[in-house]
């Protein structure tokens, strides 16, 4: 009897974390991508130490107003968070985490790179997919971990619209909104910025976040409010001209005494401007396909919960699949549907408040909060997080 096969789409934190979990659980999978809370789950997978070595700790966060005024300093936040959760607040390049997750896979023959999902060829009993280069793959469950612009989600909704008009894909598409755009990047750090220190300046309809990094780097983010809220298909791709306009409009914004946004930008190693979508979908699965990570939910990034939630998704889905296959090595459609419904019922009530709180805390509260209150809020966010049941 053939083993149950999971097909993972997308080179994301969610997808690679799930691949590591399935490998640890001795479950069959293939990973298809366009590649060339996480802390507890990463600990269980044995890569937390490696990831921590790449991180910058945020020991101090300085808050500034638009006229260089010093509003607040949160100099004990990281230590308080460690006392509450066992983990300090850390800053990491997403690509470095993805590389660490990939490097941790023992069997890389399961990974197919430079491939992009184009279409589901069949959707009942088995999953048959075709990639852009004409390759075909067959499995028992399709996991979409392919981000905000998920092709898996698009194909899943296409199939649902044809077979079940009441599924609600059009309504869910309209729930994807964009209120802000973000320019983020890495630059050579100006003088006068201490290690393990971040600073967050506020200006009208925009704010910034900068964090010192290893090897003389500074990570920077500019969050800029759109003139109006934009919905789903109207959300534009940002162009080089849009990026230049941001610098023209806000390059003179003071980030801290002696440093403007333009100063940081001129020192950039690379930068990109993107729209910030926000949503938690009502439904994340259809038949034998399920969405995880950013394809299912996306938050305002200021609180850093997107990556943690992607890891939690992978942990819960991995555990549910292990439990199903322990009882039913070749589960029926009904059994799989029950498991996926369980995933949705657990994850949506967890992620929806995270979306709402991320926006509220980041945009209205964080600059005024004391370190102990901020640490308690972050600990509260993390404390219900799912950790793997079948690894120590």
Mean pLDDT of the chain: 84
Q: Token pair for residue 269?
A: 């190693």
Q: Which ranges of 272-332 would DSSP assign to H, the alpha helix?
A: 305-327
Q: Regarding beta strands 56-57 and 60-64, do their DSSP bridges make them parallel or antiparallel, or are they unpaired? A: unpaired
Asked whether 306 and 280 are in contact (CB, 8 A), the reply is no
Q: Token pair for residue 69?
A: 């005024």
Burial code of 138-168, b = ≥16 C-beta within 10 A, e = fewer?
ebbbbbbbbbbebbbbbbbbebbeeeeeebb
What span, in angstroms and rounded, lies between the C-alpha atoms of 255 and 235? Answer: 28
Asked whether 9 and 15 are in contact (CB, 8 A), the reply is yes
pLDDT in tens, 64-117: 777 666 666 666 666 666 665 666 666 677 778 888 888 899 999 999 988 889
- Statement: residue 364 has pLDDT above 60: no
Report helix, strand and coil shares of the chain as percent, to nearest 5.
45, 30, 30
Q: Which residues pair with 181 in a beta bridge?
A: 224, 275
The count of other CB atoms within 10 Å of the CB of residue 24 is 18
Residue 146 dihedral angles phi and psi, to the nearest 5°: -110, 30
What span, in angstroms and rounded, lies between the C-alpha atoms of 268 and 188? Answer: 6
What is the pLDDT at residue 84? 58
Asked whether 55 and 68 are in contact (CB, 8 A), the reply is no
What is the pLDDT at residue 382? 56
Asked whether 335 and 325 are in contact (CB, 8 A), the reply is no
Q: Which helix (H) or strand (E) is 154 found in, with range?
A: helix 151-163
Model's pTM, two decimal places? 0.87
The pLDDT confidence band at residue 37, using thresholds 50, 70 and 90, is: very low
The count of other CB atoms within 10 Å of the CB of residue 82 is 15
Secondary structure letter of residue 236 according to DSSP: P
Residue 217 sits at the vertex; the CA angle it makes with 214 and 221, to the nearest 5 degrees, is 120
The pLDDT confidence band at residue 4, using thresholds 50, 70 and 90, is: very high
Q: Token pair for residue 93?
A: 């390049």
Q: From its phi and psi, is residue 120 left (phi > 0), alpha (psi between -120 and 50) or beta?
A: beta
Angle at which helix 94-104 crosses helix 13-24, to 10 degrees, equals 20
Residue 11 sits at the vertex; the CA angle it makes with 217 and 211, to the nearest 5 degrees, is 20
**Residues contacting residue 76 through CB under 8 Å, at least 6 positions apart:** 371, 372, 375
Residue 135 dihedral angles phi and psi, to the nearest 5°: -70, 150
Q: Which residue has the tokens 């990109």?
A: 272
What is the pLDDT at residue 36? 43
pLDDT in tens, 243-302: 999 999 999 999 988 899 999 999 999 999 999 999 999 999 999 999 999 999 998 776
**Residues contacting residue 248 through CB under 8 Å, at least 6 positions apart:** none
């Amino acid at each position: 009897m053939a083993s149950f096969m999971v097909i993972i789409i997308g080179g994301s934190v969610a997808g690679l974390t799930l691949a590591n979990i399935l490998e640890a659980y001795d479950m069959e999978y293939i990973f298809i991508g366009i590649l060339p809370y996480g802390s507890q789950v990463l600990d269980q997978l044995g890569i937390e130490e490696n990831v921590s070595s790449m991180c910058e700790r945020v020991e101090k966060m300085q808050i500034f107003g638009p006229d260089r005024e010093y509003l607040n300093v949160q100099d004990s936040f990281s230590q308080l968070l460690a006392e509450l959760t066992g983990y300090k607040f850390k800053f990491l390049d997403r690509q470095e985490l993805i590389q660490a997750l990939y490097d941790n896979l023992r069997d890389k023959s399961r990974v197919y790179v430079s491939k992009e999902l184009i279409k589901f060829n069949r959707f009942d009993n088995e999953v048959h997919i075709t990639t852009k280069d004409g390759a075909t793959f067959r499995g028992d469950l399709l996991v979409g971990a392919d981000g905000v612009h998920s092709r898996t989600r698009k194909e899943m909704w296409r199939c649902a619209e044809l077979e079940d008009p009441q599924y609600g894909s059009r309504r869910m598409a309209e729930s994807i909104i964009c209120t802000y755009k973000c320019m983020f990047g890495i630059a050579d750090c100006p003088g006068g910025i201490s290690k393990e220190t971040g600073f967050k300046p506020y200006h009208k309809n925009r704010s910034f976040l900068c964090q010192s990094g290893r090897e003389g780097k500074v990570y920077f983010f500019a969050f800029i409010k759109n003139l109006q809220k934009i919905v789903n298909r109207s959300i534009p791709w940002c162009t080089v001209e849009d990026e230049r306009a941001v610098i023209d409009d806000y390059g003179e914004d003071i980030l801290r005494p002696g440093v403007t946004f333009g100063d940081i930008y001129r020192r950039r190693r690379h930068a990109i401007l993107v729209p910030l979508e926000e949503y938690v979908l009502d439904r994340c699965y259809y038949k034998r396909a399920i969405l995880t990570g950013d394809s299912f939910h996306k938050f305002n990034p200021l609180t850093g919960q997107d990556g943690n939630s992607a890891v939690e998704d992978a942990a819960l889905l991995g555990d549910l699949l292990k439990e199903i296959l322990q009882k039913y090595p070749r589960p029926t459609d009904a059994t799989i549907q029950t498991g996926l419904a369980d995933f949705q019922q657990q994850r949506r009530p967890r992620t929806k408040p995270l979306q709402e709180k991320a926006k509220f805390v980041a945009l209205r509260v964080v600059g005024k909060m004391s370190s102990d209150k901020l640490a308690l809020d972050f600990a509260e966010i993390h404390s219900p997080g799912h950790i793997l049941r079948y690894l120590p």
